[in-house]
Structure 1
Amino acid sequence: MPVAAPPHRIALIGGGFSLDDDRVLDDWALGHARSPRPAVCFLPTASGDAAVYVDRFLAAFGDRADCVPSVLPLFRRELDDDALRAHLLAQDVVYVGGGNTANLLAVWRVHGVDRLLREAYDRGTLLCGISAGANCWAEGSHTDSFGPLTHLADGLGLLPGSVCPHYDTEPGRRPSYRAAVAAGHLPGGWALEDGAAALFTDGELTEAVTRDPGTGLYRVDPDGRGGCTERRLPCRLLEAPPR
């Protein structure tokens, strides 16, 4: 019998170790990995491989017995093309940090990481991230990569539509994203508040969760009359396990 293709999964995370100390959203994301003890690779590209961000990841994941963490720097790259491909394809989870979405995409393309991530995705690796690390998977996103908030009609296109992170915590995010969708600068998409997370399987939303009942996930679409519609999606409340 033919072997079934693995599911294609992407997780948008509105927190995790970047913002929270309780690990709730990171635990949720790792729970969707294909292995009970997943290999998890952190890509800090969007921050310029900031040492403080790498240290924060290692502090959060380095002492976990339920995963095997690693970090892939590109600004001081150490792996040749074959080793880079082998490392990324060996990962069960690729976790992308926040920072500058436009710079992240440019650096990935120079090093061929965009193509390798597509290959890993097709093989069943869970792709996830926060902020720029959520934006990058979609066709377009809402970003401050160029200073003021604006639309970026660029991305890997693995997730149909657009993404807007920090929907509730950064001033101007909500009206600016809604205006971009209404004007057709961005396709309809997903707006994520800090504290929430969403799982997409084969491009479709399959789960939405939150660590705080006051935060959630929204679907924003053009209404065909020069405006947009905004719909809040039900989210399952996650509880922090005892440590």
Structure 2
Amino acid sequence: MPADAPTILATSGGLRPGERSRLAFSGLVHHAVERSGTTGRAPRVVHVGTAGGDQRWFAAELSEAARHAGFHLDHLALLPMPSHDDVRGLLLGADVVWVGGGSVAGLLALWRLHDLGPLMAEAWRAGVVLSGVSAGSLCWHVGGPTDSFGPDLRLVTDGLALLPYGNGVHYDSEAQRRPLVQRAVAAGDLPLTYCSDDGAGLLYRGTELVEVLTDRPGARGYRVERDTSGAAPRAVESPLEARLLPQP
């Protein structure tokens, strides 16, 4: 059963230490599954690990976390070759697509090579909930700050742009991100930008931000927009309160 509207949950979280496994899915991933409307069977989640280099050890950790959560988890790897013959069928048959963190620049380059962007857009329009953390948040937007090129952050601006906004992840934990977002918005290099603290997620229905969610008390989101009313353009940041999700 697809979501009742195109839905994206773009996060700076999603995983926590597990009780019977090293990792467990946090309330953010469980909320993405809830938004899919799945009932009467195990939710079908597709993990896309492109940004992290399709590491098999990490895929195994997520498979164990999914088993404990009651999810049916598939992995879509692109390295060394696509892991499924029918990638379109895999994505359209999912309830949730979860994109992991890592290099968003590498992710976007590989997705272009494999024509994955249009398939993600098709799945989104069909009601598959798109979600992910860090690079898996940035990719759905126009772009934002990334460490894909090294420890000195730079902008990417060639995201899928399913959401016509900039995006800032790890907004409270990595010192370069907030000032770079603000400089980029003030300069017009990023459009209106939504950001998330670690543990927070931005929930979009269609292209409208409808709620900020968190699995970490005190984490929240932010809206950063360009103000041209003064002598020079500047960025104006507004905090967005987040709803604390229950711990699964």
**TM-score, length-normalised on structure 1?**
0.90
Pairing 1:40-189 to 2, within 5 Å after superposition: 40-65=45-70, 67-76=71-80, 77-80=82-85, 83-147=86-150, 148-189=152-193
Cα deviation, residue 223, structure 1: 1.2
When residues 109 and 35 of structure 1 are mapped into structure 2, their CA distance, relative to the original with a 3 A threshold, is same
Residues 108-134 of structure 1, C-alpha deviations (whole Å, 9 max, x = no match)? 111111111111111000000000000
**In the alignment, which residue of structure 1 is the partner of 2:20?**
none
Percent same amino acid at aligned positions? 39
In 1, Cα distance between equivalents of 2:101 and 2:119: 20
Structure 2 segments unaligned to the other structure (5+ residues): 18-22
C-alpha contact (below 8 Å) 1:46/1:132 kept by paired residues: yes
Match of 1:38 among 25, 43, 46: 43
> How far off its partner does 1:187 sit?
1.1
- Report Cα offsets for 1:153-201 as digits up to 9, x if no partner: 1111101111110001112111111111111111121111001112100
How far off is 1:63 after superposition?
2.7
Residue correspondences, number: 234
Aligned to 1:174, what secondary structure does the other structure show? helix
Asked if structure 2 preserves the Cα contact closer than 8 Å seen for 1:6 and 1:122, the reply is no
1-structure distance, mates of 2:147, 2:141: 16
Tell me the secondary structure at the aligned position of residue 139 of structure 1.
Answer: coil
Residue identity matched to 1:17? L
> Are residue 235 (structure 1) and residue 239 (structure 2) matched?
no
State the superposition RMSD in angstroms: 1.8
Q: Does 1:208 align with 2:212?
A: yes
Aligned to 1:26: 29
Amino acid at match of 2:234: G
> TM-score normalized by structure 2?
0.89
Q: Find the aligned partners of 1:125 and 1:164 in 2 and give their Cα distance.
A: 23
The 4+ residue runs of structure 1 with deviation greater than 6 A are none
Match of 1:221 among 206, 221, 225: 225
Unaligned runs of 5+ in 1: none
